[in-house]
Structures are given as C-alpha cells and as structure tokens.
A and B are shown apart, each in its own frame.
Chain A
Amino acid sequence: MKLSNALSRSLALTLPLASSWAVAADLSVRFDLPQLNVAEYHKPYVAIWIERADQSIASNLAVLYDVKKKDNAGEKWVKDLRTWWRKAGRDVTLPIDGVSGATRAAGSHSMSFNAARNGLDKLPAGEYKLVVEAAREAGGRELVKVPFNWAGKGKLAATASGKEELGAVSLQIQ
C-alpha cells in the first residue's frame, strides 16, 4: 500500500502536460463557497483530491491557500486542512506545480483538470470519491465527499453538498 501511495503521488505531481492519449478524460470540479453572515470573514483554504475506496489519495488536484504572503507565510495554515494534511500535506513540499493556487472568494467556482497531468487516465476502474476540504480562518472546517464509480473510461457526473463552509460540490468527467 505504501509503494502504490508513493507511485500515485509521483504520478499526480510529475506527469508532463502534453498528453499522448487519444481519448483524454477531463475532470472538472465545481464547488460553491457560501457567502456567510459572520463577524469576520476570510477566504477559505481549499484542498481537492480523489481518494480510493481505502481513503488513500489517488490524485491531488488542488490546494488553494494564501500564496501571495511573503516568505511563504501562508503555508503555516495549510495544516488546518486537517484531512488533506494528514493524508498528503505532511509529506509534500509546497508549492506543488499545477496543484497550488490562490484562495477564492465566496461564490461558485469551476476548475478543470487534465487527465494526463493528474494521473486520471491511469486510474484503475473502481469506486472513488472526489473530496473537497475547506478550512476558514476564524471559521470552521468542512469536508464534502462525492462518490463516483470510474469504469476506466466514459463520462460521468456526481454531486454532493456541505452544510456551512461548503455548498454544492459537483464532479464531471467527459
């Protein structure tokens, strides 16, 4: 299990952009960051990944945090994304090319992931979950999991919803 974790992580992080696959499945994720009526609002840190049935990470898709703070000071709070930190964060160095990004404001956001770059074209058929974790300074922390069954090819769509820090989260593979 350890070996395949390391392998999948290296797949997710180091595959070249150019894809040689004839039919590339592209994955897009749409997530809602609700407008919250709170005394103090900071844009949440967000991590998006695909997990296998055993909850190990198959692919890191995005880690959104305060990338602009000088001396990488924004990295200090990435560990508030407790689940991502525990499963991947502790073992990787930020920024991760193609995965790290800036935080997003409240609203609906869409992100697209190239299959080859994220190792999705090599994902064996099986049960997976798209996981989105949001942690907000002076706020809460929430995890939304969108289960999906990957046949190895083809299209699919799935959705789930959070209660407070995350709204609707949907996944589309085409």
Chain B
Amino acid sequence: MKKHAMKLAALGLALASLSMSAQAHRGWLLPSTSMVEAKEAWVTLDGAISEGLFEFHHVPLRLDGLTITDPDGATTQATGAVLGKYRSTLDVRLPKDGTYRLAIVSNNVFGSYKLNGETKRFRGAEGSPGAQIPAGATDVETSTTHSRLETFVSANSTSEGALKPSGVGLELVPVTNPTDLRAGEPIRFRFQLDGKPLANFPFSMVPGAVKYRGTLGELRFNTDAKGEVSFTVPAANMYWLSAKYPFEAGKGRAEPGVRRYTYAATLEVLPQ
C-alpha cells in the first residue's frame, strides 16, 4: 500500500512539473499503434515529457502506475515499465479483443504557507509527503490541478466497455471509437467536467512531426451547446489532443484555491 502511494507520488511529481513549468513541456503517451490485428496482441507504449511533440529529448514520463482498462471495464495497474533517459517504455499485453484505455490520472497540489516567519512553497501529488502542510503553518494557499493523460488501443475489434467516463475531472467521452479515426471522416466526441457536459468548450489537436513540417498546424475546435463536437482532421498522423479547464487560464501560477483540470490524449488518425 505504501509502495503504491510512493509510486503515485512519483507520478504526480512528474506531472506536477508539467503544469508549473515556465517552459512549454508537456507529457504524452505514444502507442506503437492504435489497432493491433494479431492472435496474441501486444502494444508497446512510450511515455515522455518534452518541448517538441513526440520528440524524446528531455525526461521520461513514468509509466509505473499507469491504469489499463480492458474491454470489460476491468482495471489493472501496469507493471514492468522500463525507465530510460528520455522515455519510459511499457509492453502491454491485450488478452481480450476490443478497445483498451491506458491512462495516468493525478491530482497535483502546489501552494505556499508561512512557518516561523519564512514563506515556503511546495508541490506534490495530493496526499503525498511532498504536499503536506506542517502543523503551525499560517497563510496557507493551495491550488490543485487534476490531470488525465491517456491513449487508446484496440485488439482485433473495437468495443465500448473501456470508454465509459469515470465522472471525475475533465474527460473526453468518445462517441466515435478513438482507435478507428480516419482523415477526413467525422470524429464525434463529448467533453464533460465531473460528469457534466461542457458546452462551448475549446480543445486543440496538434499533429505530430512538427520538426519536419515546420508549421505547428494546430487545429482548434469547440463543443456545441450540448457539450458535443463533430470535426474532421485533414491529414493522417498521430495527434495530441489537449484541453484545460478553466480554459481562459493564463500562463504561470494558478490563483490560490482555484481547481484546475487538464486533459490530454494521443489519438492515431489513419488515411482513409
């Protein structure tokens, strides 16, 4: 139990550094494919934190503690991730046919307090030793960011069992199966916050290979009044979908007491 808490703390710290960094670091997952057609299906997953999208040049994103949701909705914690210098890699066995969700969810707290006349700042995963406020501290100000980072993989067929939202945090609810996306074909998604639909909510899709293309090519979309969106992307690629709530939040430190949410997903879009 203690080991698990420590692993979550390490994960949280990895993601906490994302939300606070003055630089544009972002964490992402990269599956070797979104659809595996094989009798014994496996997928390999990379995780990294970097400036350039899908470039391995900064630090790994720890994958121990990644949650795997199988086609029946059952969840397991990933084990056996290999931690490298620039990325983490995990081989995932997909024993059942259908769609799996691979996700890292964390709550990161940061803030400040006064103790013995000194102002101290802290950050860490919620509940971890790094995020604890000592007795006698005054002027406590904290802010929490709930983050979800995920991707989806299917083995031999698509299914919906792993796609049900948890009802906690900022979530993408796929209507179109996220492992069945094609360039030029409508993609239907919903967004919700703690289970409630988010109307007129903006999100971005950034295609990979920015380094070779030059231009970023970020596509920006909004949900409608019901919190739904139907959109197309013009080109095949691995895409990084990102969203945050509140979406007007500026750069830098969150206001104390404000709860922030971030969501990111790696989605593969194939040619038609």
Contacts and interface: CB of A to CB of B under 8 A. Distances in A.
Interface stretch (A18-26, A51-59, A138-146): A138-146
A72 to B, nearest CB: 15
Contacts, number: 42
A70 to B, nearest CB: 12
Given A137-B51, A138-B24, A38 B214 contact: no
Contact of B218 (A39, A42, A163): A39
A138 B51 CA distance: 7
A143 B26 CA distance: 25
Given A38-B204, A42-B24, A140 B215 contact: yes
A158 B214 CA distance: 24
A164 interface: yes
A141 B212 CA distance: 10
A132 B151 CA distance: 38
Contacts of A138: 24, 26, 51
Interface residues of A, number: 17
Nearest to A136: B216
A23 to B, nearest CB: 39
A143 B51 CA distance: 20
Interface string A91-113: 00000000000000000000000
Interface in B52-66: none
B220 interface: yes
A140 B204 CA distance: 15
Given A38-B204, A38-B220, A164 B215 contact: yes
Interface string A11-43: 000000000000000000000000011111010
A125 B94 CA distance: 67
Interface string A133-164: 00011111111000000000000000000011
Contacts of A40: 24, 251
Contact of A38 (B23, B210, B213, B218): B218
A136 B210 CA distance: 12
Pick from B51, B210, B216 the residue with the most CB of A within 10 Å.
B216
A137 B215 contact: no
Given A137-B24, A137-B51, A138-B51, A39 B242 contact: yes
A141 B214 contact: yes
Nearest to A42: B24
B41 to A, nearest CB: 34
Contact of A165 (B26, B203, B215): B215
B217 interface: yes
B24 A164 contact: no
Contacts of A164: 215-217
Nearest to A163: B215
A140 B217 contact: yes
Contacts of B204: 38-39
Interface in B187-232: 202-204, 210, 213-218, 220
Contact of A39 (B214, B215, B220): B220
A38 B247 CA distance: 12
Nearest to B243: A39
A37 B220 contact: yes
Pick the 9 closest A-B CB pairs, nearest first: A138-B24, A140-B216, A164-B215, A140-B215, A39-B204, A139-B216, A38-B218, A137-B24, A37-B220
